[in-house]
């Protein structure tokens, strides 16, 4: 469930006017901006952008970029974008880093539905005039490239049916490749990138039944290289995205200096989806609420904005 609290009744025109007002004169009224955009859902934000464009002949995002700065500006901009467009931007940024950020890519490829992924790929083509797969393939290499291109290209079946026999045989294949620390990961990549999530979850369950420990534990025993780490991310994003995200938040917050990129990414991309459950998992595992942890680890407008998205009182 979503965490953001948005009003049932609202006026896009009034919101657009109030944001404009907050941007005018000496200094910017960040609080006003947070009180509006931090409490509007997907559809409402879209209408505000349209109204803003209509009234001022200016793009709301451009305006916000000029007025705000730092982590706060980045978070507000990401939040204001349409989800597919936002993911396209996140994927692009992840690829531009010196070492591409596999987590952001795998999250996009493996946590949503096939149609969600497709919408991101469409948005990416529209933004960058190249396909996501093509840029991925240029920016990465070796086994990790094979894995990332495969999961991003996938257009999985998304029904609930699965084949028990396939689950049995592929659980063995996965175990064999992990156990033998195989150099050639072809079968593993094929299975993880083409099978439906229902099928994969059946396979993962059988893996645990037969071998006595989960596949994610099995992968932990592998070499600690980037490929195995990306592989674990794929499995975790398919198996239990909420638990995965709670862990990403924990790592981001516990890192010396806080990983703001990851913190913003998870809160912003999940606030309208399942952030409520992620918060519950976080509390259970860390003995501290996510609101309190974010409140302690961030500051200023950035903190106020994240707390608004978290639905903190």
Q: Give me the residues that bind a second copy (CB under 8 A), please.
A: 118, 121, 125, 129-134, 136-137, 145-146, 149-150, 153-159, 161, 186, 190, 193-196
Q: Nearest 5 degrees, angle CA 239-CA 106-CA 216?
A: 40
Q: Two tokens at 175? A: 């175990």
CB of residue 156 vs a second copy: minimum separation in angstroms? 5
CB of residue 244 vs a second copy: minimum separation in angstroms? 23
Residue number with CB closer to a second copy (58 or 115): 115
Contact 261, 107 (CB under 8 A): no
CB of residue 309 vs a second copy: minimum separation in angstroms? 31
Q: Is 38 annotated as a binding residue?
A: no
Q: Is 142 annotated as a binding residue?
A: no
Residue number with CB closer to a second copy (235 or 266): 235
How many Å is the maximal CA-CA distance in the chain? 68
Q: Is 257 annotated as a binding residue?
A: yes
Torsion of Cα atoms, 255 then 300 then 105 then 188, to 10°? 30
Q: Two tokens at 113? A: 């539905």
Residue number with CB closer to a second copy (169 or 205): 169
Q: Is 222 annotated as a binding residue?
A: no
Contact 82, 206 (CB under 8 A): no
Distance of alpha carbon 82 from alpha carbon 112, whole angstroms = 15
CB of residue 99 vs a second copy: minimum separation in angstroms? 20
Distance of alpha carbon 158 from alpha carbon 2, whole angstroms = 23
Q: Is 311 annotated as a binding residue?
A: no
Residue number with CB closer to a second copy (16 or 136): 136
Provide the annotated binding site: 25, 27, 67, 253, 257, 297
């Amino acid at each position: 469930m979503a965490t953001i609290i948005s009003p049932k009744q609202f006026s896009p025109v009034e919101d657009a006017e109030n944001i404009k007002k907050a941007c005018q004169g000496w200094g910017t009224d960040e609080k006003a901006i947070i009180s509006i955009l931090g409490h509007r859902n997907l559809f409402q934000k879209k209408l505000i952008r349209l109204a803003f464009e209509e009234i001022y002949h200016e793009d709301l995002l451009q305006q916000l970029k000029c007025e705000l700065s730092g982590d706060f500006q980045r978070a507000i901009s990401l939040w204001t974008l349409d989800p597919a467009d936002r993911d396209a931007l996140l994927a692009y940024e992840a690829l531009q880093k010196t070492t591409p950020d596999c987590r952001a890519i795998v999250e996009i490829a493996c946590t949503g539905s096939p149609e969600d992924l497709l919408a991101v790929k469409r948005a990416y083509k529209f933004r960058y005039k190249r396909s996501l797969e093509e840029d991925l393939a240029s920016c990465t290499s070796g086994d990790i490239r094979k894995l990332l291109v495969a999961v991003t290209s996938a257009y999985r079946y998304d029904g609930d049916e699965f084949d028990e026999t396939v689950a049995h045989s592929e659980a063995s294949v996965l175990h064999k490749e992990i156990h033998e620390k195989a150099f050639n990961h072809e079968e593993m990549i094929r299975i993880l990138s083409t099978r439906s999530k229902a099928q994969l979850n059946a396979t993962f369950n059988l893996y645990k039944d037969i071998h006595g420990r989960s596949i994610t534990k099995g992968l932990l025993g592998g070499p600690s290289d980037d490929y195995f780490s990306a592989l674990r991310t794929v499995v975790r994003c398919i198996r239990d995205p909420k638990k995965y995200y709670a862990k990403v938040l924990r790592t981001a917050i516990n890192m010396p200096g806080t990983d703001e990129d990851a913190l913003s990414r998870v809160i912003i991309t999940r606030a309208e989806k399942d952030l409520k459950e992620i918060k519950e998992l976080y509390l259970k595992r860390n003995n501290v609420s996510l609101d309190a942890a974010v409140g302690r680890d961030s500051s200023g407008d950035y903190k106020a904005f994240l707390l608004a998205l978290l639905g903190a009182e």
